[in-house]
Amino acid sequence: MIANSPIPPVVPAGHLARHPQPVLELPHELGLELRPWRPSDADSLLAAGQDPAIRQWNLFHVASPEEARQRIERMHERWQAEQGAIWAIARSDGDGEAVGLIGWNGIDLTGGSAEIVYWILPAARGGGVAVEAVKRLSGWALEEVGLHRLRLCHSVANPASCRVAAKAGYALEGTMRGGQLHADGWHDMHLHGLVQGDPLGGGTV
Ligand SMILES: CC(C)(COP(=O)(O)OP(=O)(O)OC[C@H]1O[C@@H](n2cnc3c(N)ncnc32)[C@H](O)[C@@H]1OP(=O)(O)O)[C@@H](O)C(=O)NCCC(=O)NCCS
């Protein structure tokens, strides 16, 4: 319970960190799973940091293999601190290559909310990976963790991300004017939300 608050936390502190970060399956036909990042995934993170679309829309830059490895270490520290939870979207057979990233920033267990973030490397785009990964991770957050409200934010100039949000069931709730500073200036941002009781996959497409 929050000190001096009559309202109990939505999810008690320690609920995430007392377990190892789980591996989550995606639909079999994708041949992919969500798993924690490994030090050996540094090359995939470095590739993402060089991709113009990921740099533009995720504001994501990685300058060196060493920085990529540090970022992966930091992901594990954030899981332990229950501040973030970031998965690799990785091949479930063969080399286990990481082809994307998905996870939660701004986890607020007490208030019951978090923000989803994602990117897919160019070779794996256009096959429904982002939509399936968002649906799987949102189901996990609502049903297995017990969060109440999930949000998804993207620039209004990024229609692919808007489509991912709608297909995964995140309702468009409004536009945050000047919501985020990008490399080319301030962008208005769409705010999408998914709350307990909403249908995953939504029927909004
Ligand atoms: C946006 C992104 C995550 C989508 O990943 P993906 O696995 O290719 O997405 P999916 O295949 O699950 O679905 C994409 C949907 O967006 C649509 N789409 C793709 N580009 C589009 C565009 N320029 N305009 C409108 N819709 C677009 C696709 O047609 C598809 O919808 P459909 O299945 O109805 O045809 C990926 O392109 C990416 O990482 N982009 C660069 C970084 C980025 O934008 N990150 C998100 C920051 S909020």
Q: 131 CA distance to ligand 1 centroid (A)?
A: 8
Q: Whose CA is nearest to atom 1 of ligand 1?
A: 161
Residue 118 has pLDDT above 80, yes or no: yes
Q: Give the pLDDT of residue 5.
A: 79
The number of residues in the chain equals 205
Q: From start to end of 92-169, where are the E strands? A: 98-108, 113-120, 149-155
> What's the confidence (pLDDT) of residue 3?
63
Percent of the chain topping pLDDT 70: 97
Q: Is 128 in the pocket of ligand 1 (CB under 6 A)?
A: yes
Q: Report the chain's mean pLDDT, rounded to a whole number.
A: 95
Q: Tell me the pLDDT band of 203, cut-offs 50, 70 and 90.
A: low
Whether 154 is in the pocket of ligand 1, judged by its Cβ within 6 Å, is: yes
Q: Which pLDDT does position 105 carry in this prediction?
A: 98
94 band by pLDDT with thresholds 50, 70 and 90: confident
Q: How many CB atoms lie within 10 A of CB 183?
A: 8
C-alpha 164 – ligand 1 centre gap (Å) = 6
Whether 161 lines ligand 1, by a CB cut-off of 6 Å, is yes
Q: Where are the domains of the chain?
A: 24-147
Would you give the distance in Å from CA 151 to the centre of its chain?
Answer: 10
For atom 17 of ligand 1, which residue has the closest CA? Answer: 160
CATH of 24-147, one of 3.10.105.10, 3.40.630.30, 3.30.540.10, 3.30.1490.20: 3.40.630.30
Distance CA 74, CA 62 (A): 14
Q: Is 16 helix (H, G, I), strand (E, B) or coil?
A: coil
Q: What is the pLDDT of residues 123-133, one digit of tens each?
A: 999 999 999 99
pLDDT number for residue 108: 98
The whole-angstrom separation of Cα 35 and Cα 20 is 11
| Atom 22 of ligand 1, residue of closest alpha carbon | 160
How far is Cα 6 from Cα 88, in angstroms, rounded to an integer? Answer: 38
Given a cut of 70, whether residue 180 has pLDDT beyond it is yes
The span from the CA of 28 to the CA of 141, in Å, is 21
